[in-house]
Amino acid sequence: MAAAKNPLTLGAEKFHVSPFLRRPTGGAGIILGVLKDNLANVEDRIARACLRSGRRRGEITLIAVTKVFPAGVILEAHSLGMRDFGENYVQEFEGKHPAVKDLPGARFHLIGHLQSNKSRKAAELFHVIQTVDSAKLARRLNESANPLDVMIEVKLSEEESKAGASPDEVPDLVAAIRECANLRLLGLMTMPPWSDDPEPSRPYFRGLKELGDRVGVASLSMGMSHDFEVAIEEGATHIRVGTALFGKRKKPL
Ligand SMILES: Cc1ncc(COP(=O)(O)O)c(C=O)c1O
């Protein structure tokens, strides 16, 4: 009998480090095949989480997190139907932007911390800034020429290293963003403390949902490769998935 399929041992995960990191661009069929398998596996996990929680697949946007991967990987992912991409660093994405900016229907989300002094460039490159954490940053983004979708990054844990507005600050920040004519507030984003086990993330996801309901926003960006099912069960509208699609970003030590 075949062993139960563990998504983290499938596809790109069987490589010591992601095969997508080893080549700059282009579509060797075998690599595209790995990505196809990983995407099918992620979609299967999403479908099962939707079934468990009585939600529809159409309520959830899958964001493929392509940080550290070359532009060619975004092109391949797009060729398989992926449309939303997450990047952590403005400067890194600036390098890939010329190769991907005209992909039909593609939307690029900034999911890493944004400093005010990079806000102008970020507003040029991205469709969605998920990491607004201060009124000052919101006002800087509002100076951009184009209307911009934004989310508020919320820090729900005590971890020093985490960015984000505290839950207490969120109502004022929502009000400040709603004053910005060029910004459209979609919702809230969070990242719980890391744990191999998805269950410890649940209270954080539930907390974000409660906060979102309280301040009256519809979208919740929460859940990564290891815990997105729990996030879907708790109401995620956007999940941010890197490793389960593209494999490990770093060699194990
Ligand atoms: C904010 C954020 N969301 C999601 C991800 C994707 O994580 P994973 O590779 O575990 O799916 C990352 C990865 O760095 C991230 O920084």
Counting from 1 in the atom list of ligand 1, the atom nearest the Cα of 225 is 11
Counting from 1 in the atom list of ligand 1, the atom nearest the Cα of 65 is 6
DSSP category for residue 25: S
Contacts of residues 5-9 at CB distance under 8 Å and 24 or more positions apart, as own/partner, are 5/41, 7/38, 7/41, 7/42, 7/45, 7/244, 8/225, 8/226, 8/243, 8/244
Sign of CA dihedral 26, 24, 248, 19: positive
Give pLDDT, residue 15: 55
Q: What is the Cα–Cα distance from 30 to 69, expressed in whole angstroms? A: 17
Residue 251 covered by a domain = no
Residue 193 covered by a domain = yes
With the most atoms of ligand 1 within 8 angstroms of its CB, the residue from 82, 159, 190, 224 to mutate is 224
Residue 252 covered by a domain = no
User: What's the CA-to-centroid distance between 181 and ligand 1, angstroms?
Assistant: 30
Residue 187 covered by a domain = yes
Q: What is the Cα–Cα distance from 170 to 164, expressed in whole angstroms? A: 10
* CB 17 within 8 Å of CB 248: yes
User: What's the CA-to-centroid distance between 109 and ligand 1, angstroms?
Assistant: 12
For residue 112, what is the domain's CATH number?
3.20.20.10
Residue 89 covered by a domain = yes
Element (H, E) at 131: strand 128-132
Residue 130 covered by a domain = yes
Q: What is the Cα–Cα distance from 38 to 153, expressed in whole angstroms? A: 28
User: What's the CA-to-centroid distance between 64 and ligand 1, angstroms?
Assistant: 9
Counting from 1 in the atom list of ligand 1, the atom nearest the Cα of 189 is 1
Residue-wise pLDDT tens for the chain (253 aa)?
A: 344 444 444 455 455 567 677 654 444 555 788 999 999 999 999 999 999 999 999 999 999 999 999 999 999 999 999 999 999 999 999 999 999 999 999 999 999 999 999 999 999 999 999 999 999 999 999 998 889 999 999 999 887 778 899 999 999 999 999 999 999 999 999 999 999 999 999 999 999 999 999 999 999 999 999 999 999 999 999 999 999 999 988 755 5
- Residue 43, domain extent: 7-246
User: What's the CA-to-centroid distance between 38 and ligand 1, angstroms?
Assistant: 16
Residue 221 covered by a domain = yes
Q: Which tokens hold the place of 243? A: 């490793």
Among residues 148, 156, 176, 162, the alpha carbon closest in space to that of 220 is found at 156
Among residues 201, 250, 207, 194, the alpha carbon closest in space to that of 230 is found at 201
Q: What is the Cα–Cα distance from 25 to 113, expressed in whole angstroms? A: 27
Our count of domains for the chain comes to 1
Q: Is the pTM of this model over 0.85?
A: yes
Distance between start and end Cα atoms, the chain: 34
Please state the φ and ψ torsions of residue 33, each to the nearest 5 degrees.
-60, -40
Residue 61 covered by a domain = yes
Cβ atoms within 10 Å of 53's Cβ, excluding its own:
14
Three-point CA angle 43, 45, 48, nearest 5°: 110
Residue 215 class from Cβ within 10 Å (0-12 exposed, 13-18 middle, 19+ buried)? middle
